[in-house]
């Protein structure tokens, strides 16, 4: 059962009921799902988890879907955490791990967020879902909406990989290609669907995609035998995964599973779209929109993130940093991961390896640390970009 109690704004602390449909707080911030963790701690423990099914719903008590009948699942979660020995040897990093999110349904970590968000929408009686997407989020939403028998409308920027567009269409979603960036897609979506009873499932514009993404942190904790790594390196567009995992650490501490210690959080963006890098360097608590975003990593082509203040807060609090990498280096890292570890990841996932090399060269990491790279999606959807490697 879920121990969900209310929704809360992390900026102004205003509370909302979980029995009603909500997007943003009235102050403009995303909303966080909150739980009665004191009661939860009496029903779930790391030891008790070992007998549960290997999917994200093993963390049922700290997920927001209250009725088992409302769950829409395709088997998402509990993806492998692979000890990358050959790649680690090459880098002088013996405790390097790869979290392989390509093994989720629809091939990316986006399945986590959409499984929970679509399930909660189903529970709240929502029947029509809309989202702007540069690729994998749209495909995941289309799949879970199809499973639930819900209508889906997806707005994708020009240049979205063909595989993503086909995926949405094959699942029966109304798919519209828009000139410009994902921000333009959001604007066109809200204009064209206004008054049509469509629910906006955009990144961090509703409370529940975050809850699916946070399960990556719970899994890493379990897969490392009840400990957290020294560092996590995460590719950041909208930043839901990083924000969700940071939220999960607080929950785990309140549950009594971990201490105050946190992994150092490192956020990687593309050089052609790096609003967080610029804001971090300027000491700002929010990030200004990036004009004319350009990168082959479609998931990193996000010029403005509604959770910017939460990303920057997590990175600074953990003594991490934000860095930008080139498209050429991302592609080189795709090849290096494939050649050393037998995994073909997306450019976004490969960006974490390029970021790791920079962190080692600049002295942010010394080589003795345990480090987790998040390979957020399969590379098989990026054939247009990866063709130049062969």
pLDDT value, residue 194: 87
Positive or negative torsion for Cα 223, 226, 231, 235: positive
Where does residue 332 rank: exposed (0-12), middle (13-18), buried (19+ CB within 10 A)? middle
CB 250, CB 257: distance < 8 Å? no
- State the Cα–Cα distance between residues 210 and 361, nearest whole angstrom: 32
Domain ranges, ordered by start, for the chain: 81-108+209-389
For the record, the structure tokens of 159 come out as 């240049």
Where does residue 261 rank: exposed (0-12), middle (13-18), buried (19+ CB within 10 A)? exposed
pLDDT value, residue 375: 98
The position carrying tokens 């701690």 is 41
Partners of 273 in the β-ladder? 270
pLDDT value, residue 26: 97
pLDDT tens, position by position, for the chain (390 residues)?
A: 899 999 999 999 999 999 999 999 999 999 999 999 999 888 899 999 999 999 999 999 999 999 999 999 999 999 999 999 999 999 999 999 999 999 999 999 999 999 999 999 999 999 999 999 989 999 999 999 999 999 999 999 998 989 999 999 999 999 999 999 899 999 999 999 988 899 999 999 999 999 999 999 999 999 999 999 999 999 999 999 999 999 999 999 999 999 999 999 999 999 999 999 999 999 999 999 999 999 999 999 999 999 999 999 999 999 999 999 999 999 999 999 999 999 999 999 999 999 999 999 999 999 999 999 999 999 999 988 888 887
CB 130, CB 347: distance < 8 Å? no
pLDDT value, residue 315: 98
pLDDT value, residue 244: 98
User: Which distant-in-sequence residues (6+ apart) come within 8 Å of 151 by Cβ?
Assistant: 127, 128, 129, 145, 174
pLDDT value, residue 252: 97
**Fold annotation for 81-108+209-389:** Rossmann fold (3.40.50)
pLDDT value, residue 221: 98
Residue-wise pLDDT for 167-211, tens only, equals: 999 999 999 999 998 999 999 999 999 888 999 999 999 999 999
- State the Cα–Cα distance between residues 213 and 132, nearest whole angstrom: 18
- State the Cα–Cα distance between residues 368 and 370, nearest whole angstrom: 7
- State the Cα–Cα distance between residues 145 and 136, nearest whole angstrom: 14
Angle (nearest 5°) at CA 298 between 293 and 300? 65
The SS3 of residue 32 is strand
Radius of gyration of the chain (CA): 19
- State the Cα–Cα distance between residues 206 and 343, nearest whole angstrom: 33
Closest CA to 64 of 11, 4, 134: 4
User: Which distant-in-sequence residues (6+ apart) come within 8 Å of 351 by Cβ?
Assistant: 235, 268, 269, 270, 297, 300, 325, 330, 333
The position carrying tokens 């290609």 is 177
């Amino acid at each position: 059962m879920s121990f969900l109690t209310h929704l809360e704004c992390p900026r102004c602390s205003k509370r909302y009921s979980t029995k009603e449909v909500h997007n943003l707080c009235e102050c403009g911030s995303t909303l966080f799902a909150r739980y009665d963790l004191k009661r939860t701690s009496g029903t779930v423990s790391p030891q008790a988890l070992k007998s549960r099914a290997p999917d994200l719903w093993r963390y049922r008590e700290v997920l927001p879907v209250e009725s088992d009948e409302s769950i829409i699942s395709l088997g998402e979660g509990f993806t492998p955490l692979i000890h990358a020995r050959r790649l680690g040897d090459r880098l002088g990093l013996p405790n390097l791990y790869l979290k392989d999110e390509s093994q989720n349904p629809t091939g990316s970590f986006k399945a986590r967020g959409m499984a929970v968000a679509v399930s909660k929408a189903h529970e709240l009686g929502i029947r029509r879902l809309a989202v702007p997407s540069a690729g994998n989020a749209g495909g995941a939403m289309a799949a879970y909406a199809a499973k639930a028998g819900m209508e889906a409308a997806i707005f994708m920027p020009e240049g979205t990989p063909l595989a993503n567009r086909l995926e949405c269409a094959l699942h029966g979603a109304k798919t519209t290609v828009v000139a410009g960036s994902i921000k333009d897609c959001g604007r066109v979506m809200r204009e064209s669907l206004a008054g049509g009873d469509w629910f906006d499932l955009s990144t961090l514009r509703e409370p529940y995609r975050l809850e699916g993404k946070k399960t990556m942190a719970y899994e890493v904790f379990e897969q490392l035998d009840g400990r957290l790594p020294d560092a996590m390196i995460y590719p950041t567009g909208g930043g839901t995964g990083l924000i969700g995992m940071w939220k999960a650490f607080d929950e785990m501490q309140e549950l009594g599973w971990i201490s105050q210690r946190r992994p150092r959080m490192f956020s990687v963006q593309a050089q052609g779209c790096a609003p967080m890098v610029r804001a971090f360097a300027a000491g700002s608590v929010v990030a200004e929109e990036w004009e004319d975003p350009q990168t082959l990593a479609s998931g990193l082509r996000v010029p403005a993130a509604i959770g910017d203040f939460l990303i920057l807060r997590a990175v600074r609090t953990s003594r991490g940093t934000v860095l930008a990498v080139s498209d050429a280096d991302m592609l080189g890292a795709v090849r290096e991961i494939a050649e050393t570890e037998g995994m073909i990841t997306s450019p976004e996932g490969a960006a974490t390896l390029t970021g790791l090399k920079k962190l080692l060269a600049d002295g942010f990491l010394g080589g003795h640390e345990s480090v987790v790279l998040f390979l957020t999606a399969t590379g098989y959807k990026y054939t247009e970009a990866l063709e130049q490697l062969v």
